[in-house]
Amino acid sequence: MLKLVFALLFATTAWAQPYPAKPIRIVVPYPPGGNADLVARPIAQELGRILNVPVIIDNRGGATGSIGADAVARAPADGYTLLFATNNEMSVMSALQPNLPYDPVKSFEPITLVATFPFALVTRRSLPVRTINEMVTLAKQKPGTLTIASAGNGSANHLIIEPFKSLFAIDVTHVPYKGGGPALADLVAGHVDASFATLTSIVGHVRSGKLTPLMVTSDSRSPVLPDVPSAAELGYHDLVATNWNALFAPIGTPKDIIGKLHAALVSAAKEPAVQARVAGAGATIETSTPAALSTRVASELARWSKVVKEARITPD
C-alpha cells in the first residue's frame, strides 16, 4: 500500500512539473553544415539558456527534408520534439508530392518564423557573364546548353528555375543533385554553369571570388551582398522568392506550451549575438505569430502548386 502511495505521489509530481522539465529536441531535416543547420544552432543555444534546459539539434536529412518532418509529425505532442522547418518541406514538397506522409497544415502546430533569406543566382566564375542580361543573351545564343543545378528535383531552387525560363523565354538544362551541398560543390568546381543557391550557402564563395552573383531573389538588396541587385529592383517580380526557417510542433501540442515556446523563441531572436551569427550565415532574423506563419505556409503552397502544374514537374 505504501509503495502505491509513493508511486502515485511520484506520478503526480512528474505530471505537475512545469514545462519544460527535460531536454528539448529540435529536428533539423537536413545534414549538419547546411543553411538550416547554421541558423538553427544559435537559436537552439539561446532557447536553451532562456528555458534553462538543454536544447539538442537532431539532424535528420533525406528526401529533401521530408524524412525529418515526418519524424516530428509522428512524435508525441508534448513540446519536447520540434521541427526546424524550411519552406521546402512545408510548401514546395507538398506542391510536388501531395501524398507525403505528413500534411504541412494538418500535421503541425506553427510556433514562429525564425529567419528569411533569398536565393542568389550565381554562376561559375569562368562563365563569361557578369549580369543577368548577359546570361539570358548567352542562353538564347546556345539554347539548352546552359546548365542550372538544384538541390533536387522539385526542390525550391528547382521550382524557381521555371518562372526564370518563362520570363525570359529561354531553354536551359536543369541538373538535379541530392542536396544543396553537392550541387554547390560542382558549381564551384565548374562542372555546372549556374544555380539559384540559398544566399546562406554561397556568401563565402562569392566573397572569395569563386562564384559570380547576378541577382538576389528578394524585394531589396541583401545587406550581406549589397552590390548585387534584387529581382524586384530589376523589375523581375515573378522571381521574388524568399526562403525561410520556422519552428513547428506536432499537431495537438497544448496551446500554453506553444505560447511559452513562441515567447522564448522571439526573445532568443532578439539577442544580438544570435542576430550576428544568423546574419553571418546570410539570413535575416524575422519572427511572426503562429497565425501569420500558418498563412505563409498556405500562400506558398498555392504558389508552388501552380508552378508544378504549369511546368508539369513530377517527382524523381
| CATH code where residue 233 lies | 3.40.190.10
Give residue for cell 539559384: 196
**What does the chain come to in residues?**
316
| The last residue of a domain, from among 239, 267, 284 | 239
In a domain? residue 15: no
In a domain? residue 4: no
Same domain, 247 and 297: yes
Q: Strand pairing of 173-176 and 81-86?
A: unpaired
> Is the alpha carbon torsion for 73, 74, 76, 82 positive or negative?
negative
Is 45 in contact with 55 (CB distance < 8 Å)? yes
| CA atoms within 13 A of residue 228's CA, in its CB half-sphere | 26
In a domain? residue 12: no
Cis peptide before 315 (omega within 30 of 0): no
Same domain, 105 and 127: no
Same domain, 80 and 122: no
Q: Summarize pLDDT for 252-275 with one digit per residue, the tens.
A: 999 999 999 999 999 999 999 999
Same domain, 134 and 233: yes
| The last residue of a domain, from among 239, 264, 291 | 239
Low-confidence ranges of the chain (pLDDT < 70): 1-16, 316
Q: Summarize pLDDT for 150-180 with one digit per residue, the tens.
A: 988 888 889 999 999 999 999 999 999 988 8
In sequence order, what are the beta bridge partners of 117? 243
> Is the alpha carbon torsion for 267, 271, 274, 276 positive or negative?
positive
Same domain, 101 and 124: no
In a domain? residue 196: yes
Q: Strand pairing of 284-285 and 108-124?
A: antiparallel
Cell of 197: 543557391
pLDDT of residue 64: 75
| The last residue of a domain, from among 239, 261, 278 | 239
Q: What does the CA dihedral 9, 23, 270, 68 come to, rounded to 10 degrees? A: -130
Same domain, 230 and 156: yes
Is 250 in contact with 88 (CB distance < 8 Å)? no
Q: What are the backbone angles phi and psi of residue 51, rounded to the nearest 5°?
A: -85, -10
Residue 162: give the domain boundaries: 118-239
Residue 180 CA to residue 157 CA, distance in Å, equals 9
Residue 87, burial from CB neighbour count under 10 angstroms (0-12, 13-18, 19+): buried
| CATH code where residue 279 lies | 3.40.190.150
Q: Residue 298 carries which side chain, given as an amino acid letter?
A: A
In a domain? residue 6: no
pLDDT of residue 17: 79
Same domain, 260 and 206: no
Is 95 in contact with 160 (CB distance < 8 Å)? no
In sequence order, what are the beta bridge partners of 195? 122, 149
In a domain? residue 59: yes
Give residue for cell 507538398: 94
- Tell me which H or E stretch contains 208: none
pLDDT of residue 214: 98
In a domain? residue 152: yes
Same domain, 247 and 276: yes
In a domain? residue 232: yes
pLDDT of residue 16: 56
Give, to the nearest 10 degrees, the angle between helix 35-51 and helix 199-207: 110
Q: What domain count does the chain have?
A: 2
Q: Summarize pLDDT for 21-45 with one digit per residue, the tens.
A: 999 999 999 889 877 898 999 999 9
Is 28 in contact with 37 (CB distance < 8 Å)? yes
> Is the alpha carbon torsion for 261, 265, 267, 273 positive or negative?
positive
Same domain, 122 and 226: yes
